[in-house]
């Protein structure tokens, strides 16, 4: 078990767990997909940050912890940038040095998780309509969808700029 000198790894685990489960709950099919992973253990090593996270799956819910019992079925290692590129496959070739992801163990678990998130279609409108009313809920949901797409475009642009900077430093 790793001992961390700051609370940041625990905050990261809690934030990830909350964000993942809230997003999964907005898609009616996701809890059933996650339930199929029950009993599996995923270890994610965040290289550069020296943080290890453990993901477990139970009752359609994802748990993220800093420690776990048992041997992981799959270990995924990489920098945060490389892991993000894995989550956004169209951006996978960012041209960054040391941005490789290593998967050891059952690669099927990593593939199953990728499928869950690639099929994710959160219903932002339903919960927002319940709080804001139908019209405002629809408009807010459209704003969120546009914001997510804008964030993806910004991430792509930032990665291209960073990649160019890295290439320029090499020459």
* Number of domains composing the chain: 2
Query: Domain check: are 114 and 80 in the same one?
Result: yes
Average pLDDT in the 136-158 region? Answer: 63
Q: Residue 93 — very low, low, confident or very high, per pLDDT cuts 50/70/90? A: very low
CA distance readout (Å), 6 to 12, 49, 80, 91, 99 = 11, 12, 19, 32, 25
Question: What local confidence, expressed as pLDDT, does residue 39 receive?
Answer: 92
Query: Domain check: are 91 and 144 in the same one?
Result: no
| Residue 72: φ, ψ to 5° | -60, 140
CATH of the domain at 31: 3.30.1050.10
Query: Domain check: are 118 and 84 in the same one?
Result: yes
Residues 45, 65: Cα–Cα separation, whole Å = 12
Query: Domain check: are 100 and 136 in the same one?
Result: no
Sign of the Cα torsion 146, 149, 155, 160 reads: negative
Q: Residue 91 — very low, low, confident or very high, per pLDDT cuts 50/70/90? A: very low
* Residue 171 scores a pLDDT above 70: no
| Residue showing tokens 């940050």 | 49
Residues 99, 79: Cα–Cα separation, whole Å = 6
Question: What local confidence, expressed as pLDDT, does residue 128 receive?
Answer: 59
Query: Domain check: are 22 and 44 in the same one?
Result: yes
């Amino acid at each position: 078990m790793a001992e961390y000198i700051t609370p940041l790894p625990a905050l990261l685990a809690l934030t990830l767990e909350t964000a993942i489960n809230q997003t999964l709950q907005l898609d009616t099919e996701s809890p059933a997909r996650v339930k199929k992973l029950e009993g599996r253990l995923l270890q994610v090593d965040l290289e550069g940050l020296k943080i290890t996270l453990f993901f477990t799956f139970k009752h359609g819910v994802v748990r993220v912890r800093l420690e776990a019992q048992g041997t992981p079925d799959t270990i995924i290692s990489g920098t945060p940038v490389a892991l993000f590129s894995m989550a956004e496959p169209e951006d996978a070739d960012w041209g960054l040095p040391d941005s490789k992801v290593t998967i050891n163990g059952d690669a099927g678990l990593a593939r199953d998780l990728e499928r869950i998130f690639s099929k994710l279609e959160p219903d932002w409108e339903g919960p927002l309509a319940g709080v804001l009313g139908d019209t405002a809920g629809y408009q807010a949901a459209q704003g969120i969808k546009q914001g997510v797409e804008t964030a993806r475009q910004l991430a792509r642009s930032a990665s291209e700029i960073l990649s160019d900077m890295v290439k320029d430093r090499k020459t």
